[in-house]
Amino acid sequence: MKTKVIFVTGGVLSSLGKGLSSASIGALMEARGLTVRNLKMDPYINVDPGTMSPYQHGEVYVTDDGAETDLDLGHYERFTNQITGKTSNFTTGKVYETVIRKERRGEYLGRTVQVIPHITNEIKRRILRVPDDKTDLLIVEVGGTVGDIESLPFLEAIRQFKYDHGSDNVLFIHVTLVPYIHTADEVKTKPTQHSVKELRSIGIQPDILLCRSDRRLAPDIKKKIALFCNVDQAAVVSAPDVKSIYHLPIVFNEEGLGDMVCSKLNIWARHPDLTAWRAMVERFQTAEDVATIGIVGKYVHLVESYKSLNEALVHGGMTHRSRVELRYISSDELEKGRYDSVEGVDAILVPGGFGERGVEGKIAAVRYAREKNVPFLGICLGMQMAVVEFARNVLGLEEANSREFDQDADHLVIDLMEEQKQVTMKGGTMRLGAYPCHVKPGSLAHRIYGAEEISERHRHRYEVNSAYLEDLSAKGMKASGTSPDGQLCETVELEGHPWFFGCQFHPEYKSKPNRPHPIFEHFVRAALDQRRRREAVDAEAGEGEAQLASSVLQVSPGGVSPES
């Protein structure tokens, strides 16, 4: 095997940032000139996360080749140049599905099918199919926390993997927690010791420990961890909290992680060139401006469920040396007619979503943005709601709706395609992955992309009903992007509005910190312009008021109070 492999496990508790660590290791090794791939193995039994609630599992990340995957793949693509795909994420469910199918076909020749070796062999097969002949380094993140029952077959498989391929080729990195305890005014190493003990009891000796903490670890703490956990002191790496996640590759480099990986895996690589990462962090730290963007949804405050979207907005801000302040607006509030939360935002975004709750509030948000000339971006469901709003309030089709929410509505301006109407299964029945889109010259879409042929990722069942396109267009809502055959409407925009754009696809999946997606670049720009406009109007109003006040004062020489 030419490719070297790093396994990243997690200890103590979840949410330690194993995914970000795996992505940052990828970035750091890419900066040394290596070609990297990442893989995420998830111990849950769902065949893929496609049918899981984003509120439980976080965002479903969609790849170019149409796989519905774990959100960590988003980190991998944002931090490195790889394009992930169907083979970059698998679950216990997938592994068992394959093994059981094989068993039914009689491929095990009557033998008893067991976790070891059949499940573990299938896991190893799925790891080995990820790298191609160009891959120097494969970074495999093992989901879950060491000590969970579910992850045991994965840990056994990676133990065997190192046994099969040798310690020159395989490295174990364990991400653990070193908490600071306020009352003792110390950081504590015991959770790390216990977690490593757990790993060693199943035959895995970690080579490197990535210690998550709110601070960098002092040398004596590193020494203590090294001694108790049986690793080199230099292999105890601090992973302190950082203000921007894009700082991580730089921090890891300063901690000597890259050198350590190269020396343990016997890799000859140049010094890392982190210029682009440093520039990014610098742009982030020196942001001069701020735009407030209102995101309207049901549970939009759960950042995990809109991971890529939130990152894409940050990227959009970074290009303009600006911060974006995200204001989460509950669609329920708008539904009840309360608009205070949208007042004063510089732009409104209605993201993708499924299910009826909160839909009327989203439609109200679109109306507000359209009528008050507030920059608006609607993504997937957000675009569909923009079309429904326009049909209802501009075309006068009061009963306009999407089939998703009312299949008996008089005007199904958002509908299923004919072949979709026959489908009854839930998993994997959507338009998924990359589709080409043709952009009309002269449109806002064209100005955004600077190209006529684009490709974006989809994840939806419903489409704009083309029977209504002509009427929509006649009143000013144009389909500026369509499928190459012109059949499917992919983007809409409004004539005479400062910035109003809806897209049926999810641009956020493809935004990177060093290559922000043009839609978010333009959207944040529009928000910044809006803020300035608003400030100018406020200033003018303020001046007007001041003038009025002084003129009142001038005409009241007799000591009459200005109010009189």
Q: Is 503 a catalytic residue?
A: no
Tokens of 533: 């406009």
Q: Specify the residue, 255 or 404, whose C-beta has the smaller distance to ligand GLN.
A: 404
Gap between the Cα atoms of 107 and 201, Å rounded: 34
* Shortest distance (Å) from residue 429 CB to ligand GLN: 10
Name the segment binding ligand GLN (CB under 6 A); options: 292-300, 304-312, 458-466, 554-562: 458-466
User: Which DSSP state fits 352?
Assistant: -
Contact between 287 and 321 under an 8 Å Cβ cutoff? The reply is: yes
From the list 202, 208, 124, the residue with the least C-alpha distance to 171 is 208
The residue count for the chain: 564
Binding residue (CB under 6 A) for ligand GLN from 47, 208, 209, 380: 380
* Shortest distance (Å) from residue 355 CB to ligand GLN: 7
User: Which DSSP state fits 386?
Assistant: H
From the list 299, 303, 305, the residue with the least C-alpha distance to 331 is 299
Q: Specify the residue, 283 or 411, whose C-beta has the smaller distance to ligand GLN.
A: 411
Q: Which of 315, 506, 517, 522 is catalytic?
A: 506
Name the segment binding ligand GLN (CB under 6 A); options: 250-258, 274-282, 307-315, 348-356: 348-356
Gap between the Cα atoms of 130 and 115, Å rounded: 22
Q: Specify the residue, 318 or 503, whose C-beta has the smaller distance to ligand GLN.
A: 503
The answer to whether 354 contacts ligand GLN (rule: CB under 6 A) is yes
Tokens of 516: 């922000």
* Shortest distance (Å) from residue 468 CB to ligand GLN: 16
Name the segment binding ligand GLN (CB under 6 A); options: 112-120, 144-152, 455-463, 536-544: 455-463
Gap between the Cα atoms of 486 and 466, Å rounded: 10
The answer to whether 102 contacts ligand GLN (rule: CB under 6 A) is no
Task: To the nearest 10°, report the CA torsion of 274, 70, 402, 300.
Answer: -70
Q: Is 506 a catalytic residue?
A: yes
* Shortest distance (Å) from residue 458 CB to ligand GLN: 8
Name the segment binding ligand GLN (CB under 6 A); options: 81-89, 197-205, 318-326, 352-360: 352-360
**Can you list the alpha helix ranges (DSSP code H) found in 230-380?**
248-254, 257-265, 275-285, 307-319, 331-335, 359-371
* Shortest distance (Å) from residue 156 CB to ligand GLN: 37
Q: Say which residues have a Cβ less than 8 Å from residue 271's Cβ, sequence separation at least 6.
A: 32
The answer to whether 502 contacts ligand GLN (rule: CB under 6 A) is no
Q: Which residue has the tokens 């708008």?
A: 334
Task: Cis check for the bond before 117: say yes or no (omega within 30 of 0).
Answer: yes
The answer to whether 381 contacts ligand GLN (rule: CB under 6 A) is yes
Q: Which of 141, 389, 456, 508 is catalytic?
A: 508
Binding residue (CB under 6 A) for ligand GLN from 353, 502, 507, 513: 353
Q: Specify the residue, 210 or 381, whose C-beta has the smaller distance to ligand GLN.
A: 381
Gap between the Cα atoms of 20 and 246, Å rounded: 9
Q: Which of 229, 262, 380, 437 is catalytic?
A: 380
The answer to whether 118 contacts ligand GLN (rule: CB under 6 A) is no
Return the SS3 of 242. Answer: coil
Kind and range of the H or E run holding 80: none
Q: Say which residues have a Cβ less than 8 Å from residue 396's Cβ, sequence separation at least 6.
A: none
The answer to whether 454 contacts ligand GLN (rule: CB under 6 A) is no
The answer to whether 298 contacts ligand GLN (rule: CB under 6 A) is no
* Shortest distance (Å) from residue 54 CB to ligand GLN: 10
The answer to whether 206 contacts ligand GLN (rule: CB under 6 A) is no
Q: Say which residues have a Cβ less than 8 Å from residue 333's Cβ, sequence separation at least 6.
A: 341, 361
Q: How many CB atoms lie within 10 A of CB 502?
A: 29
The answer to whether 461 contacts ligand GLN (rule: CB under 6 A) is yes
Contact between 278 and 284 under an 8 Å Cβ cutoff? The reply is: no
From the list 352, 384, 344, the residue with the least C-alpha distance to 368 is 344
The answer to whether 459 contacts ligand GLN (rule: CB under 6 A) is yes
From the list 526, 378, 510, the residue with the least C-alpha distance to 82 is 510
Binding-site size for ligand GLN (CB under 6 A) equals 10
The answer to whether 412 contacts ligand GLN (rule: CB under 6 A) is no
* Shortest distance (Å) from residue 59 CB to ligand GLN: 11
The answer to whether 516 contacts ligand GLN (rule: CB under 6 A) is no
Tokens of 297: 């949804």
The answer to whether 460 contacts ligand GLN (rule: CB under 6 A) is yes
* Shortest distance (Å) from residue 110 CB to ligand GLN: 45
Angle (CA) 374-377-379 rounded to 5° is 155
Name the segment binding ligand GLN (CB under 6 A); options: 168-176, 186-194, 236-244, 454-462: 454-462
Binding residue (CB under 6 A) for ligand GLN from 207, 404, 415, 490: 404
The answer to whether 415 contacts ligand GLN (rule: CB under 6 A) is no
Query: How far lies 275's CA from each of 287, 537, 552, in Å?
Result: 18, 41, 60
* Shortest distance (Å) from residue 333 CB to ligand GLN: 21
Contact between 38 and 63 under an 8 Å Cβ cutoff? The reply is: no
Please tell me the number of Cα atoms within 13 Å of 537 on its side-chain side.
7
The answer to whether 299 contacts ligand GLN (rule: CB under 6 A) is no
Q: Specify the residue, 291 or 503, whose C-beta has the smaller distance to ligand GLN.
A: 503
The answer to whether 61 contacts ligand GLN (rule: CB under 6 A) is no
Binding residue (CB under 6 A) for ligand GLN from 76, 368, 435, 462: 462
Residues serving a catalytic function are 380, 506, 508
User: Which residues lie near ligand GLN (CB under 6 A)?
Assistant: 352-354, 380-381, 404, 459-462
